[in-house]
Amino acid sequence: MFGLGLVAALTLGAVLAPMLTGHDPNEVDTTRRLARPLSPGHPLGTDEFGRDMTARLLHGARISLAIGLAATALAALAGSLCGLLAGLGGGWVDHAIMRSIDTLMAFPYFLLAIAIIAALGPGLVNGMIAVAVVNIPFYARIVRGTVLAVRETEYVQAARALGVSELRLALKHVLRNCLAPIIVAVTLNVGGMITALAGLSFLGLGVQPPVSDWGSMLSSSRQYINVAPHVAALPGLAIFLAVLGFNLLGDGLRDALDPRLR
C-alpha cells in the first residue's frame, strides 16, 4: 500500500503539473539562478538557468512515467508473444525463438541499449525502443516457463481433445493463466525502465534539452553539486521514490496474486 501511495502521488503530480505550479518548466530567469529551496515563489529553488525546480520535476515525472510505462508495455507485449509462441510451438519453433533470446541476453544490458540508440539516433522515442528491446528476454522467459507448465494441465488437454483451435487455446486457456506473473513482472520492471531511461538521458542519448527529464536534469546539474546540491539531489530523489514505489507495488502484487503465499 505504501508503494501504491508513492506511485499514485507521483502520477497525480504528473497529471496535475500545470495546475500545481504557476511556472513554465523552460522559463529562464538568470536573475534567480541556483536559488535555494524555500525561496519566495520557488519552493524547491531554481536550477542553473533560473528555471523553477518544482515545475521541472513535475513535468519530468510526466515524461519519466509515461515513457517508462510505454517501454514496459512494449517489452511485455513482444516478450509475452515470443514466450507464448515458444512454449506452445515446441520443437524447432521453441529452439529458434529461445536461441534468439539467448543471443539478445548475451549482450550487456546498457551497452546493447546504447548500440540501438547509436543506430536509431538519440531521442525520446528511440530511447524507449532501446530499453524495450533489451527487456524482451525478461518477459519471454517468464511466459515460456509458465506456458510449459500450463499446457500440460488437464483442462488444456481436455480443450485440445474437444477440438479447440490452437489460437483460442492460447488466448483463452493458456495466456489467461500467464497474466498474474506478467502483471507482477510489469510492475517490478517499470522501476528498472525509469532508471535505464534516466541513465540514457544522463549520457545525452535519451530526452534532449531543454525538455525536462530527471536524467537530463541530473546530467546538467552535476557540475553545480558543490554550490547548489539541491539541483542534483531533487531529481535523484524523484528517481529513487519512483523506483521504490513500483518495486514495493510489484512485491505486494506478487504476494496478493500467489495463493501459495496466503
Q: How far apart are CA 240 and CA 57, in angstroms?
A: 13
Q: Span 122-128, mean pLDDT?
A: 86
Domain-located, residue 32? no
Q: Per the domain annotation, does 217 fall within a domain?
A: yes
27 domain residue, yes or no: no
| CA-to-CA dists, residue 37 to 23, 34, 44, 54, 233, angstroms | 15, 9, 4, 10, 12
AA identity, residue 216: S
Within-domain flag for 148: yes
Task: Report residue 132's pLDDT band, with 50, 70 and 90 as the boundaries.
Answer: very high
Position 202 in a domain: yes
Per-residue confidence band for 73, with pLDDT thresholds at 50, 70 and 90? very high
C-alpha angle 101-106-108 in degrees, rounded to nearest 5: 120
Cell matching residue 56 = 521541472
CATH code for the domain of 65:
1.10.3720.10
Judged against a pLDDT cut of 90, whether residue 78 lies above it is answered with yes
**Lowest mean pLDDT segment, chosen from 18-27, 89-98, 141-150, 186-195:** 18-27
Quick check: is 57 in a domain? yes
Report which residue type is found at 149: A
Percent of the chain at pLDDT above 90?
23
**What pLDDT sits at residue 72?**
92
- Report yes or no on 84 lying in a domain: yes
The structure's pTM equals 0.85
pLDDT (0 to 100) of residue 40: 85
Mean pLDDT within 105-109: 86
- Residue 19's pLDDT is 84
Q: Which of 77, 74, 19 is nearest to 197 (CA)?
A: 74
Calpha distance 101→110 (Å, rounded): 16
Confidence label for 261 from pLDDT (cuts 50, 70 and 90):
low
Is residue 24 in a domain? no
Per-residue pLDDT, 246: 92
Measured distance CA(180)–CA(171) in Å, rounded: 14
Domain that holds residue 254: 2-19+46-261
Q: What was the pLDDT predicted at 111?
A: 87
Question: How many other CB atoms are found less than 10 A from the CB of residue 91?
Answer: 7
Question: Between 5 and 166, where is the model more confident?
Answer: 5
Q: How far apart are CA 50 and CA 98, in angstroms?
A: 51
pLDDT > 70? residue 180: yes
Q: Tell me: pLDDT of 259 over 80.
A: no
From the CB of residue 30, how many other CB atoms can be counted at a distance below 10 Å? 9
Please give the pLDDT value at position 223: 87
The pLDDT, as a whole number, for residue 234 is 92
- Grid cell in block for residue 216: 537530463
Buried b (16+ CB within 10 A) or exposed e, 184-205: bbbbbbbbbbbbbbbbbbbeeb
Q: What is the pLDDT of residues 4-33, one digit of tens each?
A: 999 999 999 988 888 888 788 888 888 888
DSSP letter, residue 211: S
Number of domains within the chain: 1
| 39 bridge partner residues | 42
Q: Could you tell me which of 124, 131, 125, 141 has the C-alpha nearest to residue 181?
A: 141
pLDDT digits (tens, 9 = 90+) for 86-103: 888 878 888 999 999 998
